[in-house]
Structure 1
């Protein structure tokens, strides 16, 4: 299937229920390495599905990350539910047949490899038996020679016979045989099958996605202020993450979060006239100090299109 060149060139953000997901591993690596966008992995790993410490695809993006990527023309929004349409019965039969044939080929290759390894092990075991018998014979001959040199009779010297001291492994088939198991890789990507077409449901701008009802963020002054603050911090070279665990809107990292701790917890103030109580300042300052961070109050001014930052931290108290 051929994608539109513009859609194929940009990172595809697949939207469902007003959330944007990234399924392609290469796109996830590109977002992190080139664009300082981390997101959050939310999928389980195939072989460790019962744990939630190490997660896999898809990558879920913050709404501010989505807005930034689309406005910078780095990504395109895909209406994921509409990009998939019911496949015909013939297409499903053909797809399942290809999957089954792929599995059979992989099993045949695995069986041939297993048989070759078993034959190699069998020949190696026979060679090991022969070498052990030779070592036992040399050891017995050396003991016999030593006994004669010391004037002892051969009957007084304990000699281990290789023929009676070693039992060859049984070659008969065991009664309780187990069925051999093989690991088979089944392609499960839905982006390359013929009934998935993102080209007809791609939106390169926020306006077009909003008109189609695919994406509505931002829709309030506070949400617009969060997007502008996120963009300004991102343009300064920071990595950004969600800050709800530390009582703010964002966590601000000087580099990749895998290598650095965050230096700031950012709280967005939607306008210069927005109220900010003394209790909020005290709470944010104490929480930031307790977690070894500074707290940033990020004020967005719609008139001047600028962000003003105020850093709060406890200092000089004993």
Structure 2
């Protein structure tokens, strides 16, 4: 890759089960690339199967970074991921490799491409007090409290969205200023010399949904239940991001006798389809897509994909 001028980054985005990881691997092989994870759940070491993380064989075929690097007990914010991603991007460029961001977590991609507005550090005592009160009184009561203290943020949030309600309450309590005001401040953008080339895999809905349904059956066959059982045995806080990954709450419900296995798989697939729909909507409205592929990844798509790669000078 060139060492002067705009430094290229290939972004491969798309909904769950669209084939992003396979396309990123092919791109890495063809373009001397490093695949950098932009999926908020694939960052956790405990969730290889249930998040369809690249296999060990795939990771050995081309460099993969930020996959499985955090324990399920940790929380990875968009800001934390952004800092990690910028470091890996710099490392890839210094090694003469093409950084290939791969994932469907919209907040992560937006944080990197457009930047993040600054938000304050929250003292531990305030965070603990807000979270403990939410556990006692529930999110609806906390939403009512937020409506009194920060009506603008309350109007934006679902009364059952405990995580975001608590975050908004923590900020207004600690700073006396609405989180909305903080978010309106000028964002801290990426280095000015980074040039993003975004490819989006956007399969037709019926094709995507069929793939999601099949994938959950395959996950169970590959050992997702044992993976979730090991996670469940750690007795972690169910509010942690890793504990809310698609499929984890449903398989935990099966392990606790609250669902049959077919019910758990069906429920997880349904939630995944809804999530994929939201991802599609977000991608089409929130980021600039330079090249769209209206199909699930297959080798037959590589001709047009690599033509785009060559046209934009992304090959070695």
Q: TM-score, normalised to structure 1's length? A: 0.21
Question: Greater share of strand residues, 1 or 2?
Answer: 1
**Bigger-Rg structure (1/2):** 1
Higher share in helix: 2
